[in-house]
Structure 1
Amino acid sequence: MNKTVLLLACPLLSALSASVWAEDRKIDQGLLDNYQPEQVAEHVYVIHGPTAYPNKQNQGFMNNPAFIVTDKEVTVIDPGSSSAIGRAVLAQIRKITDKPVNKVFTTHVHGDHWLGNQAFQEENPEVKFYAHPNMIEEAKNGAAAEWVSTMDSMTENATAGTEAVIPTEALTDGDSFDLGGLTLKVHLITGKAHTDTDVMFEIPEEKVLFTGDTINNKRIVRMDDGSFAGGVKAADYAMGLDVDKVVPGHGHSGGKNMLAYYRDYLSKVYNSVKKMREDMEPFEMKPKIEAELTDYKGWPGYQEELGKHISLSALEAEQEDF
């Protein structure tokens, strides 16, 4: 184990970690200072990120990096949106354990969830990165470069220096990984939900489900690459799993009722648009649909995304006719 990792592994020296990394690699100090891992199950930790859009102040950090610690290894899910954020996630892991990080899983193609991969490859060149086969293909075909550029632009170059480490290990539905006393079960979403690259991960022994952006809690997210009907179907599928703890893509972890709550948002928007589209234009629908969404009005992203969600639902409903 190298000097940097040894320092990070020792809680007494954790205060030195940022300066050690700063000698050669940028680290997100805000994540280290303000966002601590929360233990949501015996072996599962989540760093619940802020819910604002990526900006210079949050350094692009907005998702929920998670990690599973066993006697054998550490497994990471969605390490964040830049190399600096990934290094901070790794530093938080090293405060808890010095076990090797051998596997990193990605829930979907959006770069705010996986561009932190670089940090884990820096520490362990043998680490394996897993994702939906569509995610790997899309990333190779330009999505990776587009997300690196997007994060740089949105954060005013706060994420500069990030290199896209694209997953190489394609997942299939029903895959099962032995993590050393725990099982990671893979649920590939058929068709589009939040995207056409979505994967959910389940730890059956601890009844924990990681949903990626298929499910969010107190955060309305973009649906430009998704399907409202598909999102409802994916939420219904998740509700049929034997889990009682849910780690969403954005927002705080919670109970299984979160699945129904987010599904209801997608369903209300989509079904309302389908009912109204013969009589009015999408922009005319908004006040009527808002009246059915009073529980969601305070969620970050609501004001920015609802109008677009109505327009996207109208397009999806039209496509259903063919």
Structure 2
Amino acid sequence: MKIIHTLCRVFAPLLFLPLSAADAAENMVRDYPADKIAAHTYVIHGPLGEPSVANQGFMNNPGFVITDNGVVIIDPGSSLEVGRMVLRQVRKLTGKPVTHVLDTHIHGDHWLGNQAILEAYPKAQLMAHPEMIRKAQAGEAEVWTGLMERLTQGYTKGTRAVIPTVAVTENQRFTTGGMTFHIMAPENAHSKTDIMIEVVQDAVVFTGDNVLNQRIARLDDGTFKGSIAACDRAIEVKAKHYVPGHGKTADAGMVKNYRDYMATLMAEVQRQYDAGKSDFEMKDAVAAKVSAYKGWSGFNEQLGKHISLAVLEIESM
């Protein structure tokens, strides 16, 4: 194999085979099925957990909606090769072009797949919250490409951050190919750069990481108050299907369950804080209050951080 790879490098120009294509074949992300959740809407449910060599950096829930004249992709994943995997699943179902991409927030495991989409469909519109665009342009894009490469031990190397250029706003609606997309932009939620997308005709809401299923999210960039309000906003839509940023698609009960984790934790931290306890002194009591979630991915890693962040949030009120 080493000899063959070396020959490909030497003779690639003569064979009209770009070197990047030869290299990409070695890092191709294995296929995951696209689950049909509504008449026009599909979700590729990624595995739970952090980006790693084992999951090839893929662990979010890319979605896509097939409209009359094209495809709208939501959160195309964490790398060039994840984005290409998403496109392979799209092409199994339709030959229509990708017309729009919606990125739910700044965390790169959701949007670095933009590179693959624009590579295949240069006219696609890349859309996101204006603050997400600003932060990406200010250096967060490079932070995330570097972080993904480190966490996957180089598996995502070669991914380039393609930043969205079209800003979307609270309550904005746009229609393409007979499908209406309603944008919700909750303030100070999971990352402070968040959008949620309602696919109106299909009664589907993509929540981004404002809601997770069987996984506890990092909240380093957001607030509990804003995240709880985002869950309430999603529930108010009364959609039939809710697609979390990570974990399986479900109904509104899943959103309420995640909201209850944050609300219960915040209330107990407030009670312990009022009793004069510091963050490390209250950990056991808070853990007992949210013990129903202890089997969720990320619980042990995030609980202490969440308590400290909740204390800081209380002190800033």
Tell me the amino acid that sits aligned with residue 59 of structure 2: M
Alignment match of 2:228 (pick from 227, 232, 245): 232
Alignment match of 1:139 (pick from 129, 136, 139): 136
Aligned residue number for residue 49 of structure 1: 46
Tell me the amino acid that sits aligned with residue 298 of structure 1: G
Aligned residue number for residue 118 of structure 2: 121
Aligned residue number for residue 203 of structure 2: 207
Alignment match of 1:40 (pick from 33, 37, 42): 37
User: Are 1:93 and 2:72 counterparts?
Assistant: no
Asked if the contact 1:27/1:85 (under 8 Å) is kept, the reply is no
Q: Where in structure 1 do 4 or more consecutive aligned residues deviate above 6 Å?
A: none
CA distance in 1, matches of 2:56, 2:23: 19
TM-score (norm 1): 0.90
Aligned residue number for residue 218 of structure 1: 214
Counterparts of 1:296-311 in structure 2 under 5 Å? 296-311=293-308
Asked if the contact 1:28/1:85 (under 8 Å) is kept, the reply is no
Over 3 Å counting, the alpha-carbon distance change for 1:153 and 1:24 in structure 2 is: closer
User: Are 1:248 and 2:247 counterparts?
Assistant: no
Deviations 1:108-155 (CA, angstroms, capped at 9, x unpaired):
000000000000111011111000000000000010000000001111
CA distance in 1, matches of 2:149, 2:27: 14
Tell me the amino acid that sits aligned with residue 246 of structure 2: H
Aligned residue number for residue 177 of structure 1: 174
Percentage of pairs with the same residue: 46
1:234 CA displacement: 1.1
Asked if the contact 2:98/2:124 (under 8 Å) is kept, the reply is yes
Aligned residue number for residue 7 of structure 1: none
Tell me the amino acid that sits aligned with residue 100 of structure 1: P
Aligned residue number for residue 267 of structure 1: 263
Alignment match of 2:309 (pick from 302, 308, 312): 312
CA distance in 1, matches of 2:228, 2:272: 19
Larger radius of gyration: 2
CA distance in 2, matches of 1:203, 1:28: 33
Range moving further from structure 2, 118-127 or 290-299: 290-299
Deviations 1:161-220 (CA, angstroms, capped at 9, x unpaired):
000000000001122121212111111112x11011000000121110000000111110
Counterparts of 1:265-304 in structure 2 under 5 Å? 265-278=261-274, 279-304=276-301
Counterparts of 1:69-84 in structure 2 under 5 Å? 69-84=66-81
Provide the secondary structure at the position in 1 that maps to 2:92.
Answer: helix
Tell me the amino acid that sits aligned with residue 60 of structure 2: N
1:30 CA displacement: 4.4
User: Are 1:155 and 2:152 counterparts?
Assistant: yes
User: Are 1:58 and 2:55 counterparts?
Assistant: yes
1:277 CA displacement: 1.0
1:305 CA displacement: 0.3
CA distance in 2, matches of 1:24, 1:217: 35
Range moving further from structure 2, 104-113 or 291-300: 291-300
Asked if the contact 1:27/1:88 (under 8 Å) is kept, the reply is no
CA distance in 2, matches of 1:204, 1:74: 15
Unaligned 5+ runs, structure 1: 1-20
Asked if the contact 1:26/1:84 (under 8 Å) is kept, the reply is no
Asked if the contact 2:27/2:155 (under 8 Å) is kept, the reply is no
1:284 CA displacement: 1.6
1:40 CA displacement: 0.6
Aligned residue number for residue 13 of structure 2: none
Asked if the contact 2:235/2:252 (under 8 Å) is kept, the reply is yes
TM-score (norm 2): 0.91
CA distance in 2, matches of 1:276, 1:286: 9
RMSD: 1.3
